[in-house]
Amino acid sequence: MFTLDGKVAAVTGGGSGIGKAAAILFAKQGAKVHIIDLSGTAAEQVAGEIISAGGNAMAHPCNVSLQQQVDAVFSNMEGLNILVNNAGIAHIGNAENTAEEDFDRLYQVNIKGVYNCLHAAIPIMKRGGGGAIVNMSSIAAIVGLTDRFAYSMTKGAVHAMSLSVARDFLADKIRSNTISPARVHTPFVDGFIAKNYAGKETEMFEKLSRSQPIGRMGTVEEVAALILYLASDEAGFITGNDYPIDGGFVKLNN
């Protein structure tokens, strides 16, 4: 089950965190993986790790907010079966104190970046007879989170775009779903804690972990496993859905 033999996959933000875990898992399952990341060095490192393990991977430095760069990268991906829109950035702030430049920056990466990749990938999938798209949303699109105004806006947009794609391309056998994680332990989380809570890293890590009813953060491998399922043929009857992976945060945090 869940084999990706003969499949071609693209993972944005594949140089670290959830994207890296998904790229490595896809390769283990037999896919040729295109790793797209703003950091060409990070993308090359992940591709090298996959190739050293006997897998098939290519690295692509790319700013997903720039359509010309995205189009150039995807022009070399004929036969693409799977797209994981994972690249994204975060921001702390509410509607009053979020600066215009920060709002625009999040829009450019988290919304326009997803659009650019969908715009480039869907014609390839149509020519190939279909495909599976997994868009990374967040529980911030489902529930109100303190000081996540711009971030929540972008993830709500990802959810809406994913639904639209699912509806518009049913006849082309293209499936589109979203995943909405709660807190997942990634290098970003460690960096955020170190930057904002210097000297209290352990205390804040435990506090953030306990905010999930299950009592811990998720792992990138757990999220990657869900991405694999939704990208696989075993999920062929699933489209237009969102899947929280949140340790019970949405339904049990009351």
Give the active site residues. 151
Residue 60 CA to residue 47 CA, distance in Å, equals 10
Residues 6+ apart with CB under 8 A from 171: none
C-alpha torsion sign, points 155, 156, 160, 163: positive
- What string of DSSP letters covers 165-220? HHHHTTTTTEEEEEEEE--B--HHHHHHHHHHSTT-HHHHHHHHHHTSTTSS-B-H
DSSP state letter for 55 = -
Residue 134 CA to residue 178 CA, distance in Å, equals 6
Return the SS3 of 97: coil
